[in-house]
Structure 1
């Protein structure tokens, strides 16, 4: 069976890439090892895209879903026991949980502060990034998860298991949505086999997996017409990683706005109130991170980085970019929230579920491309809504950023263009096809009248 063969090949590439890990490190050296690792992950993405094409374009037997789930779980099981070696972020998660277990607000001190010296050890503290100058950047809901996990077990492995478990909860929600939409369950492969998703959470345990679980629950609640609950869950996801707030217009479409807005605001207020003793430091390292990543000045944005290669940009270019992008995202959100779109190729009641997920995928991709992060795991959340509403450009964006693990030119335009340029091409093709379909439909209706 072709699907099984592709799954076994994906597992083989996962094994091969894992063997390049050097025990006790959180980065790959030498450069040739990193290049080989990225090459294996790129091959895994090719296998993944072939598998996506197969499940979307072929009628597969009912047992195919079990093959999909088995391969997805095995791939995660291969990586879970391994120490994180592409990122050291998870050590900060465990540290923040440990600080809270000691009754200390995690936003109050940087890890290297003498006030926390009694909490230091030889396995977690030495591997915390930015320990000397950065307070934690993670919002309140993330902090609550860190505290809960460390209360049970203060190990990196326990944190990884919890994060993968919550990511799988999001996967379960998408299975429920596939059934509600009357779509083949094997489409869960779009999330389950995504190499970027697998490595981001099962290997490095990024907190984005928690947000994915909450987003899945929010989409399921919204599909069940529980708008208030959906708003609260989305707010909780945004208190793990701020980006999911961009999905609010998709969840608000066709429902009384006060329900999700009110519930979401209550969740946000309660979340920050729990850590209010830190005062203005409750935002943590967020302002410093924006500056460090070139977002406040504009140099970190892919589009501006490309324009800068043509000539020197004025000092206000970063601000202008942020204003224009914010206005564009606001207009897109308003258009989606108005609920004037319709799917003519999907029968009711499935159209509401598919349209919800398609809108979520478009919004998620738009905000991610707008900020153009150079860390690959920032893109992993894009695969989730594509399970129900597969948008080619978004599926590409959810997997191709494995290439960003390598940075051969140490700049923000040329190498990232391998991710963004194909996505833009796919988006333009999809837009033109949609316009052509509308023209044909209009002409057909006119002829019948």
Structure 2
């Protein structure tokens, strides 16, 4: 129970971890570049590399330990709200941690607020008053986000005025997403027969939420919040046209923040059926969900005044090449194999393309199996497959499937272990550890990918044989 010493230790050690991470953010987080006339105090702060690493590692470890310790518990909802709120407070008043993406958001918002089109060129060409804060790799890249987020980023800059005012409002948007998760995950869990407190703890208390969604102000928070809300609305009243339309609108808004949310739409259409799966029922009720999605996408696109340029911007999302993506790691590994023989070839584009083909097949199989099972769990698996097979992986991507899977299944070990590992992948200043462990990480991920694929094929064969034996036994009877 929450009144026991164990729960008090979990709450306050996690809070201590959050405080240490806030200290790491001040000492060497994702801070703007120092001006040439920086005062000695600021320069000294940026020279404390050892203290930055110590506070980051200890703070992350405490937060992960606290989250991990209660992964099988079912705490009261109110206790979780208070605990997570306590953990978020230090990070809300600290500089961004673990990523510099929020500066890109601010610059894209500034371009839009000034009447420019962030989908045509990068912020370097279109002009941004805070260009020096943006990671050089992304200064010449058009915005890869949907029209809803560009509208919101523009509003944040218009209202915030300064860089830090804009960041504060962008963080407020992430809090809206976190609040939607906090309200919807327990209700979704109840519908799926999962303990609501356990589901909420896994989804909300995860350190990735505090560090990347809130401190880093990633727009993934808003996408996940809208996505979970849309799934809950659809599942709440299957067969009710108006409710399904509203659920589709929420899902469409999620897609108009980040396109990734589109993979859940076919599963939401299955959840819209009030009874057993039938194709006419799918067409009749799923059409309302699809109509809501299309209405939200068209409405937000028209409201932005930028047309469909955001679709073209998606092509640059794979510019980063890191071993944390299994298809990318496999391509890098194949390239390494040719080096001793003097062979130079580019395997990464090929393995990435194959990964997308495999993803398409997996999504179809998951949808087909979800027809007569829990389609909401299928949506979580679809998001997990998307994260695993996408050309690029960043730690905050793990929050996409986490929120849905936590609410739809009791079998959690297979996805909470990778999430816990992902918490340690980014340094306070936004650098990814993958940059410094390219060879070792590539070797590990390539071997892991082959082993998982081999075991998956063995499981599929065994499952097929079991079904054939069952059919043969039924025919004999």
Fold-level similarity (TM above 0.5): yes
Q: TM-score, normalised by structure 2?
A: 0.74
Could you tell me which residue of structure 2 aligns to residue 233 of structure 1?
250
C-alpha distance in 2 between matches for 1:43 and 1:89: 25
Q: Is the 8 A contact 2:226 2:253 kept in 1?
A: yes
Flag the 1:109–1:371 CA change in 2: closer, same or farther, 3 A: closer
Say which of 121, 124, 142 aligns to 1:135. 142
Q: Is the 8 A contact 1:227 1:251 kept in 2?
A: no
Alignment of 1:184-195 (within 5 A): 184-187=195-198, 188-195=200-207
Number of residue equivalences: 416
2:378 aligned with 1:359, yes or no?
yes
Q: How far, CA to CA, are the matches of 2:173 and 2:365 in structure 1? A: 37
The structure-2 alpha-carbon separation of the partners of 1:127 and 1:304, relative to structure 1 and needing over 3 Å to count, comes to: same
Rounded to whole Å, the distance in 1 between the matches of 2:156 and 2:245 is 27
What is the aligned counterpart of 2:79 among 39, 46, 67? 67
Structure 2 residue aligned with 1:414: 440
**Structure 1 vs Structure 2 CA RMSD:** 3.9
Q: CA deviation at 1:370?
A: 0.8
Cα pair 1:374 1:412 within 8 Å, conserved: no
Question: Matched residue of 2:93: which SS?
Answer: coil
Query: Of 155, 158, 168, which aligns to 1:157?
Result: 168
**1:372: Cα distance to partner?**
5.6
The answer as to 2:321 corresponding to 1:294 is yes
Check the 8 A contact 2:329/2:445 in 1, yes or no: no
Q: Which runs of 5+ in 1 are unaligned?
A: 344-354
Deviates more, 1:84-93 or 1:222-231: 222-231
Superimposed CA distance per residue, residues 324-352 of structure 1 (whole angstroms, 9 cap, x where no aligned partner): 33333223322333355656xxxxxxxxx
Task: Measure the CA separation in 2 of the matches of 1:413 and 1:276.
Answer: 45
Change (3 A) 1:150 1:409: closer
Query: What is the Cα deviation at residue 420 of structure 1?
Result: 9.2
Pairing 1:20–2:46 present: no
- Rate the CA distance shift 1:77–1:356 in 2: closer, same or farther, 3 A: farther
Q: Residue 147 of structure 1 aligns with which residue?
A: 154
The structure 2 residue matched to 1:394, chosen from 415, 424, 431, is: 415
Distance 1:324 1:106 in 2: 30
Is the 1:329–1:367 contact (alpha carbons within 8 Å) kept by the matching residues of 2? yes
User: What's 2:425 paired with?
Assistant: 404
Shift of 1:4: 3.1
Is the 2:335–2:344 Cα contact (8 Å) retained in structure 1? Answer: no
Match of 1:76 among 48, 63, 88: 88
Task: State the partner residue of 2:219.
Answer: 207
Of residues 223-232 and 213-222 in structure 1, the stretch that sits farther from structure 2 once superposed is: 223-232
- 1:135-162 deviations in Å (ceiling 9; x for gaps): 3332212112213334443411121122
Taking the aligned partners of 2:256 and 2:435, their CA distance within structure 1 comes to 34
Alignment match of 1:269 (pick from 295, 298, 303): 298
2:446 and 2:376 mapped to 1: Cα distance? 22
Deviates more, 1:15-24 or 1:191-200: 15-24
Match of 2:359 in 1: 329
Give the superposition deviation at 1:215: 0.8
CA separation in 2, counterparts of 1:5 and 1:288?
Answer: 45
Cα offset for 1:219?
A: 1.2
